[in-house]
Amino acid sequence: MTQPVLEIRNLSVEYETRRGIIKAANDVSIDLYPGERFGLVGESGSGKSTTSLSVMRMIKEPGRIVSGEIVLNGETDILTLSPEEMRNVRLSRIAMIPQGAMNSLNPVVKIKDQLILTMATHGRIGKNKVTRKEINELLDSVGLQPHVADLFPHELSGGMKQRACIAIAISMRPDVIIADEPTSALDVVVQRRIMQTLKRLQEQLNAGVILVGHDMGLMAQFVDRLGVMYGGNLVEVGTVEEIFGNPQHPYTQLLISSIPSLERKGEFQTIPGQPISLLDPPSGCQFHPRCPQAMSHCSTVVPKRVAPKAGRTVSCLLYETEGMTDNAATS
């Protein structure tokens, strides 16, 4: 079997706040293969950004990676790298299009200079070595005209800014691209076009992509596999066909049924109950207070990861039978 380009192994991240410790990612494990598009979904606060920022080692105070490994190409655990080594990994091996990326462009620096700076910093090449032709080719690859190079971010539309961020992210030809809600602030038509651009570039690079988002419809069109997060836990992983055709976790089932269908004419079925407070999470399975299929022991027993087959996992007591857990499979 092919070597994953990225393995997130048993990642746990906490934020130590004045009100208490927030366990924002709990024992999260994801394998990403070259050329694969993996979607990470779940409601606000479920730990999607925390997980993706960890891969970039960009968790800031008061956050901290408590345990786990993040292995690149089966060789380097990036959590053991020095800050200098990690700087070299960023963009050249793993690039991120952050949440709200278009606001991350430097407002007083022209697009071409932002590209040159990125390439010079991460490619260890002199600023003068980046040619106008290279800049133009990069802009062209994300569907931007050459004159955009000489504009400042405020002179660009939201979609154009997002394209410029993608150009920066792919400029060092990374093996892994993390895209955190790359199109959430844009209208549907622009969204679709930008996702097509990202897909085309990712396929050309054979890069693995982790796409974070809320929109299950967009996910279904873009990704190969999906991971569903709830309260910092990755509660289910499967191919798009498996997740949409045969969702196992009751939370995934509710997420799928909340997608507006043509027949239901856009009527959203909301998921009953409140999102949990991570400061004081429910005991046992965190989803049990909202779960329509909750059993008596769900409030006391923490579900283990069950792996019915390679690449498919679910953490729910409905599926727990002796000897089927992921722990058993990997030990």
Q: Which residues bind Mg ion (CB under 5 A)?
A: 49, 99
Burial of 305 (0-12, 13-18, 19+ CB in 10 A): buried
Report 93-112 residues binding ligand ATP (CB under 6 A).
99
226 binds ligand ATP (CB under 6 A): no
The Cα–Cα gap between 111 and 117 comes to 10
The residue among 115 and 216 lying less far from Mg ion, judged by its C-beta, is 216
Contact call for residues 164 and 153 (beta carbons, < 8 A)? yes
Asked if 213 and 219 touch (Cβ cutoff 8 Å), the reply is yes
**Hey, what are 281's tokens?**
């999470």
Rounded CA separation 181/100 (Å): 8
Q: Does 46 bind ligand ATP (CB under 6 A)?
A: yes
Nearer to ligand ATP, 198 or 276 (CB): 276
| Minimum CB distance to ligand ATP, residue 212 (Å) | 7
Rounded Cα distance between 195 and 290, Å, is: 33
What is the CB-side half-sphere exposure of residue 302 using CA atoms within 13 A? Answer: 7
Is the peptide bond preceding residue 289 cis, with omega within 30 degrees of 0?
A: no
Is 15 among the residues that bind ligand ATP (CB under 6 A)? yes
Residue 16: both structure tokens together: 């130590």
Q: How far apart are CA 224 and CA 247, in angstroms?
A: 15
- The residue among 22 and 139 lying less far from ligand ATP, judged by its C-beta, is 22
Nearer CB in complex with ligand ATP: 234/278: 278
Does the bond joining 62 to the residue before it have cis omega, within 30 degrees of 0?
yes
Applying CB under 6 A, the span of 14-22, 29-37, 110-118, 130-138 interacting with ligand ATP comes to 14-22
Please say which residue, 146 or 282, places its beta carbon nearer to ligand ATP: 282
CA–CA gap between residue 124 and residue 278 (Å, rounded):
42
CB of 58 vs ligand ATP, minimal distance in Å = 11
Residue 219 interacts, among Mg ion, ligand ATP, none and using kind-specific CB cut-offs from 5 to 8 Å, with none
Among 4, 47, 98, 182, binds ligand ATP (CB under 6 A): 47
CB of 41 to ligand ATP, least distance (A): 9
Q: Which is nearer to ligand ATP, 49 or 183 (CB)?
A: 49
Nearest approach in angstroms of CB 125 to Mg ion is 33
Reading the block at residue 72, the tokens are 């690149």
CA angle 311, 36, 209 (to 5 degrees): 115
Per-residue binding letters, 48-67, with ligand ATP (x by CB under 6 A): xxx-----------xx----
- Minimum CB separation from ligand ATP for residue 235, in Å? 13
- Per CB under 6 A, residues contacting ligand ATP are 15, 17, 22, 24, 42, 44-50, 62-63, 99, 278
